[in-house]
Structure 1
Amino acid sequence: MRKFSAALSLALLVAGVSGAQALDRRVQIVNESSYDIREFYASNTGSKSWEEDILGKHILPAGGTVTINIDDGSGYCKYDFKAVFEDGDTVESGDNNVCELSVFRFTN
C-alpha cells in the first residue's frame, strides 16, 4: 500500500506540473486608446530586458484587438507588458498573470 501511495503522489505531482505548463497564455490585447500601438513587448518578470517586439512590422490600430500567445517556453505566468504608441509615448504594466488574464486593455 505504501508503494501505491508514493506512486500516486508522484503521479499527482507530475500531473500538477504538466497542468501548470499547459496553462493557456493567450491574451487578447485591446487598444481602446486614440493612438495606434506601433510596438508591443511582453517579457516574463524574471527577465532583465524586453523581448522582441511581438507586433513586428504590424501595428495595433486605435480601436483594434489582437490575440497573442505570450508563452515563451519558460513556464512563467507573470509578464511585464510595454506598448509604444504612434506619438512615441510608452505605457508599461508589470506583473500581469497571463495564466489567468484573458483580456488586457490600453485606454487613454
Structure 2
Amino acid sequence: MIAPTVARAFAVCALVVATAFPAVAQDRHVKVVNKTGVTMVSLYGSNVGSDSWEEDILGGDELRSGQSVNVNFDDGTGYCKYDLKAVFADGDKVIKRGINVCTVGTWTIN
C-alpha cells in the first residue's frame, strides 16, 4: 500500500514542478516592428523605475521602415515591465512606458 501512495506523491510533485516552471521562465521576447516611414537608429529598453537607459539594443545597426527585429529582454532580473525608447534618423523619439514583455509579443511603432 505504501508504494502506490509514494508513486502518487511523486506524480503530484512532478505536476507541481511542471506547472510552476513556466511562471519562472517566462518568455521575454518581443518583436519590434518599425512602420514609421523613417529608419530607426537606436532602441533602448530599461526596467521600469530605472533612472537611465541601458545600451542600444540595435548595437549600431539600423531598423528600416517595414523591418522588424526580435528582442530578448531576459536580463536575468526576472522583471517583466520595461520602458522602451526608439530613436529615428530624423531625430524623432518614441517612448513607451511599462510594456509587459512577458505578455506582449509585438510592439509596432507607427
Please indicate the TM-score interval, normalised by the length of the shorter structure: 0.7 to 0.9
Other-structure match for 2:45: 42
Other-structure match for 1:63: 66
CA distance in 2, matches of 1:65, 1:99: 19
> With structure 1 as the length reference, what TM-score do the two structures score?
0.82
- The equivalences for 1:3-82 within 5 A come to 12=16, 16=20, 18-82=21-85
How many percent identity over aligned positions? 45
> With structure 2 as the length reference, what TM-score do the two structures score?
0.80
Q: Does 1:104 align with 2:101?
A: no
Q: Which protein shows a greater Rg?
A: 2
Which 5+ residue runs of structure 2 have no aligned equivalent? Answer: 1-11
Count of residue pairs brought into register by the alignment: 101
The root-mean-square deviation of aligned C-alpha atoms, in Å, is 2.3
Which 5+ residue runs of structure 1 have no aligned equivalent? Answer: 1-7
Residues 1:63 and 1:48: Cα distance change in structure 2 (over 3 Å): same
Other-structure match for 2:91: 88
CA distance in 2, matches of 1:103, 1:65: 10
